[in-house]
A = this chain, B = another copy of it.
Amino acid sequence: MTTTILSSKTKEVIIGAGHPFVIIGERINPTGRKLLATEMSAGDFSRVKADARAQVQAGAQMLDVNAGIPLVDEPAILAQAIKLVQEVTDVPVSIDSSIIEALEQGLAAAVGKPLLNSITGEEERLARLLPLVKKYGCAFIGISNDESGISEDPDVRFAMAQKIVQRAQDYGIPKSDILIDPLVMPIGAMRQAGQAVFRILRRCRDELEVNTCCGASNVSFGLPSRPVLNGTFLAMAIANGLTCAITNPLEETIKRAIMAADVFMGHDENCMTWIQANRDPTAAPTEGGRRERRRAQH
């Protein structure tokens, strides 16, 4: 079984089928968060720091950092956010941008071995980003789409993943430094979106022998009771081989589904993590998680 190792200055995180599921906190992302976007543009990173601390406290083993704000100097803001996140927490970071220069400055700012998020199968991006991955010795998320867009056919998406892995190996990047994102589409718009992802995950595990990562929130877009859907989707994806996800650990329903999934994958020895989390009444009440959520919102 392939293991992917990321690190901060002081901590190592192992991602792999034989290890507990890894949560990469998704909250440091100005997309859809107007207030955060305004503050980050103005150089106010207080919320970034608070979000970083809260997510790690809630169980994120890594943090995704995104600074995608229109009309700003994204590379500079991303680099600064990464520096600050690493000052207030001790977890590895995932450097998240669609702008190559921002990824590059993020890599320069990151300590330890970060995750580069992400590289699609588009030729230009492969050619510019894979040498960066090699240069910095980081790991990266490969996204199974290319110039032609996102295919609905899981086997076409898998072929794209295969191409990314091949190209990375051509640059001397080992499989253990590649996480494939199967691309999670909204289930409300595409009935086979779940089954497609499950199939890609199984093929990545069994045929490509690489680890996988997905953003899970998209799957429930437009539907009611999203946390239950997201948590159930993640548990089913874990059952099909998913090894980590960019998601919200402050959402108790999601976090508990992931913890329960770890129990059933045999990754929670003697169920100690589950028992501890469910014994402490301030950490995880028996039903609904109201107390935890209220606390987390402060």
| Partner-B contacts on A (CB < 8 A) | 187-188, 191-195, 198, 219, 223-225, 228-229, 231-233, 235-240, 253, 256-257, 260-261, 263-266, 269-271, 274-275, 278-279, 284, 286-290
Contacts and interface: CB of A to CB of B under 8 A. Distances in A.
Given A198-B239, A225-B278, A266 B232 contact: no
Contact of A265 (B195, B237, B287, B290): B195
B233 A236 contact: no
Copies, count: 2
B271 A188 contact: yes
A260 B233 contact: yes
A268 to B, nearest CB: 8
Contacts of A290: 287-288
6 smallest CB-CB distances across A and B, nearest first, come from A288-B288, A194-B264, A232-B260, A224-B278, A236-B239, A239-B239
A150 B123 CA distance: 54
Nearest to A227: B287
B269 A257 contact: no
Given A239-B240, A264-B187, A225 B256 contact: yes
A265 B194 contact: yes
A264 B239 contact: no
Q: Could you say which of A188, A228, A264 has the most chain B C-beta atoms within 10 Å of its C-beta?
A: A264
Contacts of A232: 231-232, 235, 256-257, 260-261, 264
B195 A286 contact: no
A229 B260 contact: yes
B278 A191 contact: no
B224 A274 contact: yes
Contacts of A264: 187, 193-195, 198, 219, 232-233, 236
Nearest to A284: B225
Nearest to A260: B232
Contacts of A219: 264
B266 A195 contact: yes
Contacts of A231: 232
A236 B232 CA distance: 8
A28 to B, nearest CB: 25
Nearest to A229: B260
Given A187-B263, A187-B264, A224 B286 contact: yes
Contacts of A253: 287
A157 B150 CA distance: 41
A266 to B, nearest CB: 5
A271 B187 contact: yes
Most interface-central of A193, A198, A232, A289 (chain B CB within 10 A): A232
Contacts of A279: 224
Nearest to A186: B271
A245 to B, nearest CB: 15
A289 B288 CA distance: 8
